Structure 1
């Protein structure tokens, strides 16, 4: 007999519910034993095992027998299917829906599933595409779903070329770059870290210097797909270090919308009671404000590289605040946008995605994120010694941005060559609509194992191999889009 799990991958690692209890199940082959042994002894595996880590599943779905049954059935049914880049499951859907789910579905939202949550993928302008109950592909005398619009749209994505709605995603991206777009990010995990040792814990847990805003409570907004993993990791560190503080999970109590683009300030200024100028509300700050008569936490942040704010909103206020934003934004050409647009916009700006550009076996220095680490202070933090050691010896591996001029899509895992010799592979690739090029990010090593210097990257001749065809590539040490980081500061060229 064979074992099948809900996502066709093994279940390994420490159980979130019981410290010291490790699992190694859900698969029928060897090779994981060595990593699991290392995990048990050292508290973490040596290699990147995140895709197998049992903490990838949120506790609300591991306790849900319907979700487990449906998803495990579909993973078996699709065992030998070709894995296309943007496939989504039909099983175990509509398990976790945020307050804006219905209003977005009515506007043609095509949803993605991420660990139980339905999050916006992209917006189909023709018609809505509701997700129906799982039909077990017609097995067990269950009537197969007919005229299933969502399934039809997925089927059209079964290509290794650009998808048929490439232009729709482009329109969402360019609305964000040229005017204003609204992203529903309500699936994010929203945690509070509080207690007498909260500051001590934050100092140890986070590489960034949090002393600019000392306090005894910290609000953490975490990507929904990694919320369970983050929660478990933080709880483990609190316990191991003996910090006197607690975590509270308010993920289901709040929604979150992100309003981004050069017109975002004008739009928001019409519905909020706060001054949104650079002086009054600088980048990377937050305030409790009133939006359309509702109290919200506004953060001036961007994951797409534009002027913009995130609004973290109590559940019951989400729909009225969203409707006020869309109403005020009509004259600016506001547009709904989804995560497919975020994937493109973020790679264009050079922002990192967890487990694509950044994995547990990468360091912030290799990932070009040294600026997020408080190395200039004397404050100890988890991982500091490893970073100091790596800084002293130099980087033998480094993330690099690549662009190609040919109009072909790439999806990640394409080989990277330097002067004709393989030096790595792309972790992530998307089409960048503002620069009108395919963009990829990958870590490279020198063939001789030496330090990867900026000069080595500047002087090399790079190429990328997609499905046996090699394309000339240009390596960039900085993002090819807005390398001076002006747009998030609200500085837009008038040229």
Structure 2
């Protein structure tokens, strides 16, 4: 397995022609944090990479030290000596099991370090787009289910829908200050401009959806891709503020840097865009970093975090932490944020109402957006299915697609499952239906006895309407008892 992070296909994109002011560009420079330099640095620290949607990204970190992948041996052909041993391959092969993987405890340590101290996640494979132009505000209103036109410096979690009300994407949209270009941290704009951060595996899908909508509506906008020009580090955990306060030249207190806000700051002498966000349910920040500054900033973060027990963590830990948290409450006290994985517990055929993301939809306003009419109809008629969180006390691995039974009757299946190490339970999310054809109401969930079936064996499950972890949502606010 090659360690170099895979790049998107090198295709040329022509400007859209729906309007003379409507253009679309893709940058092509390689990001050092997404390419071989970062892979080498992480491999030296024991990183085992995993593939997701055609990209490689850190999966987990072996405690046995580096396990570099050997050069491809062509099975001994072309006068290339055949590899006789391969530590990297052998470690990955052990993942193919219906039990917990051999490195289950390693993932646990990464998760618990994030919950108890601080962890750093390399999320550089994320897509990073800018939307600007004369019609940028109108385009943002139509594209995004949430009202992203807050004051500059705000960051909003939102969805994008199709005409059927299905969810094309979930992402964060940050409103920027108008001004001169400060590429790649900002684009030139004399009006409204937005920074979009999107899961890397689906960034290409989101790019094409946005382009199509802009073209169909004739919006005069410019959509620019700077994914290859920036890296992204997420520093999360109770001690993240202590670590970053030594690296960033700005006040990180709740008052000076509230949740869901962003600003350009200096990090060890390098300009970065810092966002106070969390995908794991902890106090934390994301640093969006120009490619040439990625390694110096990473080194500064690790040096400052050494005395606080900072560790590298991978996406296997993120999967566990995010499903364990389930949702979070923003500091305003009235905004629920669910931790969804698009492609698993959120797909093209799921509406935000079914997925527990109604709060992302500006239904109380009169602002039209793509798919709104379908949501209004669904809200009026009642939900025929909804997503539910399940936990089981038995320590058995589940992977998704396990059948869900209510009172002995099948009502759905899990979309995603993982082990929650802090609550010490197996967790799963799945959509359930009322077998009688009626609404899948909250009372329908509360009144049922649920079981989950794994490989022919059923396990008693508890259905949750609130997060099984930190239900009062204090930790993202930095409140730790």
Q: TM-score, normalised by structure 2?
A: 0.81
CA contact (8 A) 1:99 1:318 kept: no
**Residue 357 of structure 2 corresponds to residue 377 of structure 1:** no
Greater RCO between the two (CA within 8 Å, min separation 6)? Answer: 2
8 Å CA contact retained: 1:401, 1:441: yes
Offset at residue 423 of structure 1 (A): 0.2
| 2:110 maps to 1:122 | no
Q: Distance in 1 between matches of 2:38 and 2:284?
A: 20
1:318 to 1:403, Cα distance in 2 relative to 1, 3 A: same
* Over 6 Å off, 4+ runs: 15-19
Structure 2 CA distance for partners of 1:99 and 1:368, relative to 1, 3 Å? farther
Q: Which residue of 2 aligns with 1:149?
A: 87
Residue in structure 2 matched with residue 440 of structure 1 by the alignment: 428
Q: In the alignment, what sits opposite 1:354?
A: 342
Secondary structure at 2:412 match in 1 = strand
Structure 1 CA distance for aligned equivalents of residues 12 and 209 of structure 2: 9
Maintained 8 Å contact 1:306/1:487 = yes
Question: In the alignment, which residue of structure 1 is the partner of 2:223?
Answer: 247
Contact 2:247 2:268 in 1 (8 A): yes
SS at match of 1:464: strand
Q: CA deviation at 1:458?
A: 0.9
Aligned partner (choices 468, 477, 481) of residue 480 of structure 1? 468
Two-structure CA RMSD over aligned residues (Å): 2.3
Quote the residue 1:225 is aligned against: 201
Higher strand share: 2
- Structure 1 residue 484: Cα displacement: 2.1
Report the counterpart of residue 212 of structure 1 in structure 2. Answer: 150
CA distance in structure 1 between the aligned counterparts of 2:108 and 2:446, rounded to whole angstroms: 30
In the alignment, which residue of structure 1 is the partner of 2:320? 344
Q: Which residue of 2 aligns with 1:390?
A: 378
Structure 1, residues 434-474: CA drift from partner, whole Å, max 9, x if none? 00000000000011011011111111000000000000000
Distance 1:203 1:431, change over 3 A: same
- Which residue in the other structure is 2:121 paired with? 183
Structure 1 position 98, deviation (Å): 6.4
Query: For the structure 1 residues 140 and 382, does the alpha-carbon distance in structure 2 shift closer, same or farther, using more than 3 Å as the test?
Result: farther
The correspondence of residues 36-435 of structure 1 with structure 2, limited to 5 A, is 97=35, 100-135=38-73, 143-213=81-151, 216-350=192-326, 351-435=339-423
Tell me if structure 2 keeps the 8 A contact 1:114–1:224.
Answer: no
Distance in 2 of aligned mates of 1:143 and 1:446: 60
User: Is the 1:179–1:332 Cα contact (8 Å) retained in structure 2?
Assistant: yes
Greater percentage in helix: 1
Q: Determine if contact 2:403/2:453 at 8 Å carries over to the other structure.
A: yes
Kept in 2, the 8 Å contact 1:96–1:117? The answer is no
Structure 2: state its 5+ residue gaps. 1-10, 16-25, 153-190, 327-338
- Find the residue that maps to 1:431 and give its secondary structure: strand
Q: Secondary structure at the match of 1:426?
A: strand
- Give the match for residue 6 of structure 2: none
Matches of 2:121 and 2:33, distance apart in 1: 21
Does the aligned pair in 2 maintain the 1:403–1:438 contact within 8 Å?
yes
CA–CA distance in structure 2, aligned partners of residues 139 and 199 of structure 1? 58
Following TM superposition, by how much is the alpha carbon of 1:112 offset from its aligned partner in structure 2, in angstroms?
Answer: 1.4
| 1:129 CA displacement | 1.9
* C-alpha separation in 1, matches of 2:201 and 2:291: 20
Give the distance between the partners of 2:399 and 2:419, measured in 1 at CA. 9
